[in-house]
A and B are shown apart, each in its own frame.
Chain A
Amino acid sequence: AQSVTQPDIHITVSEGASLELRCNYSYGATPYLFWYVQSPGQGLQLLLKYFSGDTLVQGIKGFEAEFKRSQSSFNLRKPSVHWSDAAEYFCAVVGATNKLIFGTGTLLAVQP
Chain B
Amino acid sequence: DTGVSQDPRHKITKRGQNVTFRCDPISEHNRLYWYRQTLGQGPEFLTYFQNEAQLEKSRLLSDRFSAERPKGSFSTLEIQRTEQGDSAMYLCASSSDRGLEKLFFGSGTQLSVL
- Chain B contributes a number of interface residues (CB within 8 A of A) equal to 21
Query: Are A102 and B43 touching (Cβ within 8 A)?
Result: yes
* Also in contact, A41 and B103, with CB within 8 A (given A102-B43, A103-B42): no
Q: Which B residues touch A110, using CB under 8 A?
A: none
Query: Are A90 and B42 touching (Cβ within 8 A)?
Result: yes
Query: Are B91 and A100 touching (Cβ within 8 A)?
Result: no
By a beta-carbon cutoff of 8 Å, the part of chain B in contact with chain A is: 4, 9, 40-45, 48, 56, 91, 93, 99-103, 105-108
Considering only CB atoms, which chain A residue lies closest to B106 in the complex? A43
* Also in contact, A44 and B101, with CB within 8 A (given A99-B48, A102-B43): no
Which of B40, B42, B101, B107 lies in contact with A43, CB distance below 8 A? B107
* Also in contact, A105 and B101, with CB within 8 A (given A41-B107, A42-B107, A44-B91): no
By a beta-carbon cutoff of 8 Å, the part of chain A in contact with chain B is: 4, 9, 32, 36, 41-46, 49, 51, 90, 92, 94, 97-105
* Also in contact, A99 and B45, with CB within 8 A (given A41-B107, A43-B107): yes
Which of A36, A97, A98, A103 lies in contact with B99, CB distance below 8 A? A98
Considering only CB atoms, which chain A residue lies closest to B102 in the complex? A46
